[in-house]
């Protein structure tokens, strides 16, 4: 397992690098000097128990939540110091998906394509393809995002993240509430994105999915990255789930209490 205090990227510039990202809410430290490195062409899975600080970290990392300290860089570009350059390189699916809701999926893509400065014909072409691939074309096209199901919102969120052809994708729980067929489509899109030279960071609670997709994992607990490295190094000869439970130091409950549930 790689020591998280040492730098892993060698001489190659990381696709994504978080250095000492720190956030305190009141007297609670949600992210404690987080260090994390995504190599170019890597598929990185960030896992951790509820409340570990994943969303807080990723929100700071993509420019949505101002850190108390630390830096985030995408291909060397500082996200907080050079936001416009960084946004060209970065595609983001935030948790909770704050996006204009009283637009249809197509209108949303058109609007965001214009904000990215893309040519109108090119935006139309990309929107056609993305809506078709995500199965948000046809009748879904006249539906406002506010009326989308949770899974449809994830899919249109992913479409907005891909629209400007970024080099790095940061996706907070992209498979949450997505049906198995759509999940297979999303996996295929993300694999193709990585094969084409892009880099991906996802957060997920589904260990099997992380083992299936990711070559690198980071485990967060109590606001810190407690392990990071190639998947096989982090999990060793065990499953990622067993390693995870060990690393985060939780007791697997359920054996005692709740006696009133027994009939």
Q: For binding to ligand ATP (CB under 6 A), which residues are involved?
A: 25, 30, 48, 50-56
Q: How far is the CB of 48 from ligand ATP (least distance, A)?
A: 5
CA distance 182 to 172: 17
Distance of closest approach, residue 255 Cβ to ligand ATP, in angstroms: 23
| Nearest to 217, CA basis, from 197, 198, 203 | 203
In the complex, minimum distance from the CB of residue 49 to ligand ATP, in angstroms, rounded to a whole number: 7
Q: Which is nearer to ligand ATP, 55 or 104 (CB)?
A: 55
Distance CA 119, CA 78 (A): 26
Q: Of the candidates 223, 230, 168, 248, which has an alpha carbon nearest to the alpha carbon of residue 21?
A: 223
Name the strand (E) or helix (H) holding 38: strand 28-38
Give the whole-angstrom CA distance, residue 122 versus residue 137.
Answer: 17
CB 21 within 8 A of CB 72: yes
Nearer to ligand ATP, 54 or 153 (CB): 54
Nearer to ligand ATP, 55 or 160 (CB): 55
Nearer to ligand ATP, 21 or 118 (CB): 21
The closest alpha carbon to 173, from 191, 192, 189, 153, belongs to 153
Q: Which of 150, 86, 137, 149 is closest to 109 using CA atoms?
A: 137
Mode of pairing for the β-strands spanning 43-47 and 224-230: unpaired
Residue 141 C-beta: closest distance to ligand ATP, Å: 31
Nearest to 200 by CA among 230, 233, 223, 166: 166
Q: Minimum distance from CB of 55 to ligand ATP (Å)?
A: 3
| Shortest distance in whole angstroms from residue 165 CB to ligand ATP | 28
3-state SS, 84-97, equals HHHHHHEEEECCCC
d(CA 209, CA 240): 10
Whichever of 50 and 121 has its CB closer to ligand ATP, that residue is 50
Name, in order, each residue with C-beta under 8 angstroms of 155's C-beta and a sequence gap of 6 or more: 134, 135, 136, 178, 182, 186
Q: Which is nearer to ligand ATP, 48 or 105 (CB)?
A: 48
Residue 26 Cβ vs ligand ATP, minimum distance, rounded to whole Å: 7
Residue closer to ligand ATP by CB (options 56, 160) is 56
Nearest distance, CB of residue 161 and ligand ATP, angstroms: 18
Nearer to ligand ATP, 65 or 189 (CB): 65
């Amino acid at each position: 397992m790689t020591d998280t205090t040492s730098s892993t990227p060698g001489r190659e510039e990381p696709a994504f690098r978080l250095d000492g990202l720190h956030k305190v809410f009141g007297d609670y430290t949600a992210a404690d000097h987080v260090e994390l490195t995504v190599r170019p062409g890597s598929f990185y899975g960030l896992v951790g128990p509820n409340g570990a600080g994943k969303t807080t970290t990723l929100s700071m990392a993509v420019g949505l939540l101002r850190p108390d300290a630390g830096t985030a860089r995408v291909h060397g570009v500082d996200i907080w110091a050079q936001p416009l350059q960084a946004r060209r390189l970065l595609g983001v699916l935030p948790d909770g998906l704050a996006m204009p809701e009283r637009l249809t999926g197509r209108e949303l893509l058109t609007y965001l394509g214009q904000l990215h400065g893309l040519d109108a014909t090119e935006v139309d072409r990309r929107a056609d393809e993305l809506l078709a691939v995500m199965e948000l074309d046809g009748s879904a096209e006249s539906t406002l995002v506010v009326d989308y199901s949770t899974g449809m919102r994830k899919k249109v969120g992913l479409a907005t993240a891909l629209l400007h052809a970024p080099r790095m994708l940061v996706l907070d729980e992209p498979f949450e509430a997505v049906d198995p067929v759509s999940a297979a489509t999303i996996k295929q899109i993300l694999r193709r994105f990585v094969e084409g030279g892009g880099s991906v960071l996802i957060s997920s609670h589904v260990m099997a999915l992380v083992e299936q997709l990711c070559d690198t994992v980071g485990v967060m607990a109590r606001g810190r990255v407690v392990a990071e490295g190639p998947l096989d190094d982090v999990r060793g000869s065990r499953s990622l789930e067993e390693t995870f439970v060990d690393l985060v130091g939780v007791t697997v409950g359920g054996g005692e209490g709740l006696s009133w549930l027994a009939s």
